[in-house]
Amino acid sequence: MDYVVQLKNLPKENDFFIGFDSDGCVFDTMELKHKECFCPAVIKHMGCQPVSKAAREVWDFVNLYSKTRGCNRFLAIQYFRDLLKERKDVQARGFQSLELKELDAWIDRETKLGNPALEAEVVENGNAELHLMLDWSKEVNERVEDMVSGMTPFPGVMDILKMGQGKADMIVVSQTPLEALEREWEENDMTHFVGLIAGQEHGTKTEHIHYAARGKGYGKDRVLMVGDALGDYKAAVENNALYYPILPGQEEMSWQRLRDEALEKFFAGTFSGDYQQQLLVEFDAALPNEPSWN
């Protein structure tokens, strides 16, 4: 399937466009997925058993409690590796993290950082290091499928989706694998609200918005990204779109504010400017750059 064509072929049916991130934004899945699925698998496949406590702290910081929250899983591996080997308690134990130079090279040349692209690379080159990363990523997906079920959206999400119907073309903009996204949205009977569920197979979040919204006649300040992570904000900026943050730890308040005032401002054309800047100041303060152990 050509996922870019899917995005490009989305019809413009309304004057406004809204993209929604899913994990940690629409659904309260981030803590469960990372603590019960991603982190145990990374400790196993990267041989971090001797420093498991530090590894857990680093993984959670990278993926939940810092400005890299919500990044692509393979970028998260890079951040995790670099921060883990900088820790003095890890150095004191003589632990040597995997270098993963082949992963670095693959990330530099690949735009669709997902299992299909990595699997194709492994089949072509048979690289042992990339095979390890593919095994890790596949195990993560298996753990997620086994562990994550019955998740419901944050309070206020359904109100926003209903308010957007007939006014905005809406899609999911995520770096989660498509299978998991479709399962979670279908379980909650939410797929009919959006024109497309775009996952990591569709490319980056920036590409999702670019192909789905740009050049289709949405006017200035009529494209909005709703997300909980810096990657969501960057995707908005790179497409000259507006951004509404779902603040980590304050998700219910954030959805209520979107329902009670922000969405109305977006439709009225008064979202940009001072109001947008106020939201961005709050968003910047919500997540740190530096870990506490430094």
- The model's pLDDT over 13-27, given as tens digits with 9 standing for 90+, comes to 999 999 999 999 999
Q: Map out the domains of the chain as residue ranges.
A: 3-28+154-286, 30-147
Residue 126: pLDDT over 90:
no
Tell me the mean pLDDT in the region 154-170.
97
| pTM (two decimals) | 0.85
Mean pLDDT for all residues in the chain: 94
Tell me the mean pLDDT in the region 139-151.
92
- The model's pLDDT over 28-57, given as tens digits with 9 standing for 90+, comes to 999 999 999 999 999 999 999 999 999 999
Residue 154 banded pLDDT, cuts 50, 70, 90: very high
- The model's pLDDT over 56-109, given as tens digits with 9 standing for 90+, comes to 999 999 999 999 998 889 999 999 999 999 999 999 999 998 999 999 999 999
Residue 200: pLDDT over 90:
no
Residue 176 banded pLDDT, cuts 50, 70, 90: confident
The CATH number that domain 3-28+154-286 falls under is 3.40.50.1000
Q: SS in 3 state form for the chain?
A: CCHHHHHHCCCCCCCEEEEECCECCCECCHHHHHHHHHHHHHHHHCCCHHHHHHHHHHHHHHHCCCCCCCCCHHHHHHHHHHHHHHCHHHHHCCCCCCCCHHHHHHHHHCCCCCHHHHHHHHHHHCCHHHHHHHHHHHHHHHHHHHHCCCCCECCCHHHHHHHHCCCEEEEEECCCCHHHHHHHHHHCCCHHHCCEEECHHHCCHHHHHHHHHCCCCCCCCCEEEEECCHHHHHHHHCCCCEEEECCCCCHHHHHHHHHHHHHHHHHHCCCCCHHHHHHHHHHHHHCCCCCCCC
